[in-house]
Structure 1
């Protein structure tokens, strides 16, 4: 709680850019696991993409094993089918590969007999979908994704610069791979709802990245003549300044999506919501991570080789190297000056001048820097407090004697009648 309080009070400073190799390694591990899962495990495609038949019927207290036995009895391999028991509606949902009309009728009669369905034509819903419909949807989704990426690349290149656009596109690919990899790992079906959710999270991921890049541009504007901080430091400051805003936006977006995923699909059994909610939940979380820990540090690495950025870094290093170091302590003595030196005077020159003044004072007991030994009359008692005591002032003499020196007549303060 203390850490969250510090974050929301902006009482913190995280070195995002300085630790970018750690973030790169973490992203590499996550992306590697997702890619391996997509290659080895593959995806569980829904009927809209793979084609086949779907049977939905009342369960009447049956089990999934009984449905699988029924499939085997009509010559259908249960390993190629998906059987779901819907607890809320007390029904079975059986998805099979593409069947002929004869196989469809035979399986319908077998299910009706096994689970005591009185009227199969009304109580058993059969839907048949060809694989061509799913391939058409996939082709349209890929075309829309390509057009979207091209338009976003052009806009970011015009609005900011092409290196910012390249970093944003890299973060976008990162989010896509992570989202689809999670689908492969958990075994959720890929349905048209999944495609809609993926296209939705692309916009969210880019929105968060663009906000961070806009702050980076504000912090780095006019740095060509500055020598206060490097490009990497200005970029890291921009990340810290937008961190609270990014966290607030992500948390507000994740709360309703988490409700759909964990409450709607998990507790209430609304299976149609889980495909949409899982993609959005993973995509929003991955988009927040990539905009802070991946896209902006990658931008710093892309800009590092530019002549202007290299000149800025060198100028900042020279300026910090010229900062005056603390001068060595010199023993204090009469006539030693403690004030600052003249403008433009180096620390070594100041120490040398002070040492010369001390040498001159040491040869004169009265503390005269010219070193002359001639004595001059001094007031009585001047040596009681050292050679540096000044003669008594007129005010001190007046307080001591009650009269102003060199003046005759009545004491001061009395008027002549």
Structure 2
């Protein structure tokens, strides 16, 4: 008999080899995470590069998102076209007047109507760029011509400016020697820069926000500056102002005698005693000759140095400059001179780059957060492993081994695909621990049921694993859909959470259905047991016949009342929206001496920072969190507010964390977050509808909406900040709740096929009772894992974990008392699932007694 049983459970040798080869490969890929960088240096590069990269929230550093100013590109294109039009018409001797440009429109009038067609022919080349239309030329009355710059033409210019800006950014950051920055383009007009270990990004932002267009220009003495300001400057000249307070105006020629393209090099020289500096530039050979001629021809005239349309110095030309080495006059600090030299060497930015998002974590805080996260993971694993071993004995040991392999495989996949581990990513790993043991509990409970029916352990194991695999796949697929949507719409740390969760879903299915089975197969081969281990104690609800549907009207009423109350509170009170949705700044400071004084901080900031400022001291009493509400004036105003806070508090406090979100980013996050929730609900509706029946889909959506509404109510009731991590928690709750609902639905569908004549409430009660042990155990393991994260994960992740704890509890409730009763409300038709030739009467008796023959 043992030989027969062995044959029945036998897993083919090649499958076993593949399973353990995948495990061994995962271990090999995960090993670099246990070694230091010094130890990894002795290994091949392909091996060392498999180490999981830590997010900035775990190692500290700065994340900056820059946006190219489209208005600068439009203005530059407009000025270029106006100059080009003027030059082309002069070349063919066509007189014109009223040449002006506004926005994306240029207008002029040809003086002689007979020359209009010749003017059109001369201007045709400017309407296309690289063979593609960039502007449209139209003719009006009395020789009027209009050139409209197309949006497509501007978009092409923006793209070209982005390409150029990326090169300049890389060159500027490379000269700062700030480690290994990550610089990548995001979308059509943005650049994301991440620099590990950089605690104060202010200098970096100054370097990257400044185009550094430097030029030497002659002063136009044909008109007084005031007259030019009151009227119209001469053609080819413009009025620029100095940095002085009050600023001094200069009428200068637009055509420079030197500009950035003429500089071969730039060197800053600093005086350490006076902390000032100066800059010397070396000209190219061709520029040296041209500048010598220009200075010789304009002796006695005044020349100004212009930096980004602002005059920084003015001087008279006393002698011709022929050496090719020029000292740039100006009042520079030592660092200011070094920064300008860096910008000149790297070349000018084609347009202004504005900081629209900034997130900075002080490295010490990142390391502390990392330690807390690892501790939480270890404690969570110990909690759930103890629970599994306590209920399942040696089968629990197999599940625990599979869990360790699962985590190893997650780390291997993250290293292989370059997935960054963030603090929410650690939360995802803790959640994976709960989900992984959920899958094992589902399989083991099915095995117990099969053993009761067959009384042969090997048959029970084989049927249990085979039949539970589809349910595990269904349950995890709903969570995968939600995680994929979250990954698509999010960025930064939240995207790290989604990516880690996606990897964990795949590894969970593999370890639960294949690794665990292989381990159990090895145990069967070695011990050859005939019955399930006596140490299995999970049947605490065996034979239960709880009438869940008997109180469905009460549960519906209570849930509906709570949902309505939540919606009313939401409308009346609203939620405390975080800066991800409203814009603004969050700054965490730590007192250099003593404890943080929130009253003093608030009084000091209210006098210097516009708008509302809120200060809250943290539990350690040494730190405080400052919330600066969104500023009027856009992205630059947000950055100015943070600078004011730094200037006011810098002497007394260290800045541990700075997050700044401008209106452009906050508006996009609000839109994408709303679309993410709607997309998740729609995807779930479609999937459940296709996989089950439309009544099941409606039940799942009603239960999910119930969970979402009550979770939002938690934010309203507690006043917790609702930000993008709140959206991540919300979508995770949606996925987890559906995980539980799908398991219950799967059992209902199976029973409906077998017992199609049974009253639906009784059949639903039996299905829930059959899966009750699994529901209680999996909810307990997930709650234990999240509780460990809540206790040991640190302050930063605590509110996120609290929401997940609440959501798991509510999701467990809704899968029983909301999702199931909806099937009765919408009159699910059991005949749809009829198997055909089953003994319906006997089955009905079994189900009604609470002991279904399944």
Which structure: larger Rg?
1
- Cα offset, 1:75, TM superposition: 5.9
The structure richer in strand per residue is 2
Structure 2 unpaired stretches of 5+: 1-536, 632-636, 833-839, 846-854
| Correspondence for 1:283 | 807
Instruction: Spell out, residue by residue over 1:21-69, the C-alpha distance to the aligned partner (whole angstroms, 9 max, x if none).
Output: 0111121122123212211221111122211133333323242111222
Structure 1: distance between partners of 2:701 and 2:754: 26
Deviation at 1:222, TM superposition (A): 4.3
Match of residue 649, structure 2, among 101, 111, 123: 111
**What is the aligned counterpart of 2:823 among 289, 299, 313?**
299
**Scaled by the length of structure 1, what TM-score is found?**
0.63
SS state at 1:19 partner: helix
In the alignment, the residues of structure 1 paired with residue 778 and residue 830 of structure 2 have an alpha-carbon distance, to the nearest angstrom, of 36
Q: Structure 1 residues 26, 126: CA separation in 2 closer, same or farther (over 3 Å shift)? A: closer
CA pair 124-161 structure 1, distance change in 2 beyond 3 A: closer
The corresponding residue for 1:72 is 606
Whether the 8 Å contact between 2:753 and 2:830 is mirrored in structure 1 is no
Is 1:168–2:700 an aligned residue pair?
Answer: yes
Match of 1:137 in 2: 669
Distance of aligned partners of 1:214 and 1:49 in 2 relative to their CA distance in 1, 3 Å threshold? same
The C-alpha deviation readout for 1:267-305, integer Å capped at 9, x for no partner, is: xxx33202321221121111100001111011112116x
CA 1:161–1:102: 2 relative to 1, 3 Å: closer
User: What is the match of residue 91 of structure 1?
Assistant: 623
Distance 1:153 1:98, change over 3 A: closer
Could you say if the C-alpha distance between residues 58 and 289 of structure 1 is closer, same or farther in structure 2, counting changes exceeding 3 Å?
same
Given that 2:578 and 2:721 are in contact with CA atoms closer than 8 Å, whether structure 1 keeps it comes out as: yes
Q: Who is 1:156 aligned against?
A: 688
- From the superposition, tell whether residues 223 and 181 of structure 1 become closer, same or farther in structure 2 (CA, over 3 Å): same
1:142 shift after superposition = 2.5
Deviations 1:177-226 (A, max 9, x none): 111110111011112211111111111111111111111112221445x4
Hey, what does 1:332 align to over in structure 2? Answer: none
1:204 aligns with 2:736: yes
Displacement, 1:9? 3.9
How far apart, in 1, do the equivalents of 2:753 and 2:656 lie? 67
Pair 1:63-2:592 in alignment: no
In structure 2, the residue corresponding to 1:12 is in which secondary structure?
coil
Match of 2:788 among 250, 254, 259: 259
Task: Pick the aligned partner of 1:238 from 767, 774, 791.
Answer: 767
Contact 1:193 1:275 in 2 (8 A): no
Inter-partner Cα distance in structure 2 for 1:154 and 1:11: 35
Quickly say closer, same or farther: Cα 1:245–1:72, change in 2 above 3 A: same
- Aligned 8 A contact 2:596 2:623 in 1: no
Q: What secondary structure does 1:278 align onto?
A: helix
Please give the alpha-carbon distance, in whole angstroms, between the structure 1 residues aligned to 2:643 and 2:626. 14
Q: How has the CA–CA distance of structure 1 residues 110 and 260 changed in structure 2, closer, same or farther, with 3 Å as cutoff?
A: same
Partner of 2:202: none
**Which residue of structure 1 lines up, in the alignment, with residue 406 of structure 2?**
none
Residues 1:70 and 1:288: Cα distance change in structure 2 (over 3 Å): same
Once the 2 structures are TM-superposed, how far is the Cα of residue 18 of structure 1 from its aligned partner?
Answer: 1.8
Structure 1 residue matching 2:826: 3-state secondary structure: helix
Deviation at 1:15, TM superposition (A): 0.9
Q: Distance in 1 between matches of 2:782 and 2:728?
A: 17
Name the CA shift for 1:245/1:98 in 2 (closer, same or farther; >3 Å).
same
| Aligned 8 A contact 1:235 1:300 in 2 | no
Within a 5 Å distance, the mapping from 1:7-406 to structure 2 comes to 8-59=540-591, 60=593, 61-74=595-608, 76=610, 80-88=612-620, 90-99=622-631, 100=637, 104-112=642-650, 116-117=652-653, 127-224=659-756, 226=757, 229-261=758-790, 263-264=791-792, 270-303=794-827
